[in-house]
A and B are shown apart, each in its own frame.
Chain A
């Protein structure tokens, strides 16, 4: 299974994402730059975390309007899997590929710690290697992860099982509505989440709770 990683100025978790995908899939992902208008034939496109364009205007706002994101949208429409982590999640909502918005943390503080996540829907291509309701650990590091959606959108997300990850056991680090940590689009092939599963994939990280996400998405045996 092939993957690609989107590179934008100001991202800083791109190396982590490339390393994780390389280790898990056994082959290095292709990389695409912000001005690229075509993305190679891959099964999974990852948008890493960081601070694209210095978080100017709104987190992810400028990145979402770069040419490469039109190419990502075209691939997503064709059913290619897309995962956006942290700033990648912010970019996906700004690009309109996922609903809602990510606002400043309720505490107004940058949070960098480990949280617990509950698998709210194990029936997606990204979570099929987890058990429903399973609690996993994951690092978070962000200032603007406070997920917001209007009442109607929220009801739709909850009703359709589009909420995939929830902060568990009182670990909500940002005030996110309904403890939402990650959502998928209606078709289920675009995932955005604030936590960093790519930073918990091997013993050296102190655990591998995030590994099953990539193994599930890429169809790789555990």
Chain B
């Protein structure tokens, strides 16, 4: 099984890196770029076929390590 976890900053958390990217895009001449928020993607391969268990495990992985839930949200997708 393959899974993808996307970690993004919560609303209201300042993202200086996203801001810098936003400015750089404008500098390259891309007009009409609104806000940019930077995040992370994890592609994870899992053994087993139990999708429900996989989802529960992936969420636990996010809560315990992959995301800092003080500042980040996460989304789990199983292919």
Q: In the bound complex, what is the Cα–Cα distance between A118 and B12 (angstroms)?
A: 27
Mark the stretch among A32-40, A120-128, A146-154 that contacts chain B: A146-154
For window 94-134 of A, CB contacts with B under 8 Å fall at: 94, 99-101, 103-108
Q: How many residues of A contact B (CB 8 A)?
A: 20
Residues of B close to A204: CB separation below 8 A: none
Residues of B close to A104: CB separation below 8 A: 16-17
Given contacts A57-B65, A57-B66, A65-B65, contact A101 B20 (CB under 8 A): no
For window 51-79 of B, CB contacts with A under 8 Å fall at: 64-66, 68, 70-71
Any B CB within 8 A of the CB of A58: yes
Shortest distance in angstroms between A150's beta carbon and chain B's nearest beta carbon? Answer: 7
| B70 x A61 contact (CB < 8 A) | no
Residues 48-83 of chain A, each 1 if its beta carbon lies under 8 Å from chain B, else 0: 000000000110010001000000000000000000
Q: In the bound complex, what is the Cα–Cα distance between A61 and B7 (angstroms)?
A: 15
Q: How many residues of B contact A (CB 8 A)?
A: 12
CB within 8 A of A58: which of B13, B17, B68?
A: B68
| A106 x B68 contact (CB < 8 A) | no
Q: In the bound complex, what is the Cα–Cα distance between A183 and B70 (angstroms)?
A: 16
Any B CB within 8 A of the CB of A175: yes
| A108 x B20 contact (CB < 8 A) | yes
| A175 x B68 contact (CB < 8 A) | no
| B17 x A94 contact (CB < 8 A) | no
Residues of A close to B71: CB separation below 8 A: 101, 103, 148
| A106 x B16 contact (CB < 8 A) | yes
| A101 x B14 contact (CB < 8 A) | no
Q: In the bound complex, what is the Cα–Cα distance between A94 and B68 (angstroms)?
A: 8
Residues 2-26 of chain B, each 1 if its beta carbon lies under 8 Å from chain A, else 0: 0000000000111011001000000
| B14 x A100 contact (CB < 8 A) | no
For B12, B20, B70, B71, which residue has the most chain A Cβ atoms within 10 angstroms? B70
Residues of B close to A103: CB separation below 8 A: 13-14, 16, 71
Residues 156-174 of chain A, each 1 if its beta carbon lies under 8 Å from chain B, else 0: 0000000000000000000
Shortest distance in angstroms between A198's beta carbon and chain B's nearest beta carbon? Answer: 26
| B14 x A148 contact (CB < 8 A) | yes
Residues of B close to A57: CB separation below 8 A: 65-66
Q: In the bound complex, what is the Cα–Cα distance between A99 and B13 (angstroms)?
A: 15
Q: In the bound complex, what is the Cα–Cα distance between A99 and B68 (angstroms)?
A: 12
Q: In the bound complex, what is the Cα–Cα distance between A178 and B64 (angstroms)?
A: 28
Shortest distance in angstroms between B29's beta carbon and chain A's nearest beta carbon? Answer: 22
| B16 x A105 contact (CB < 8 A) | yes
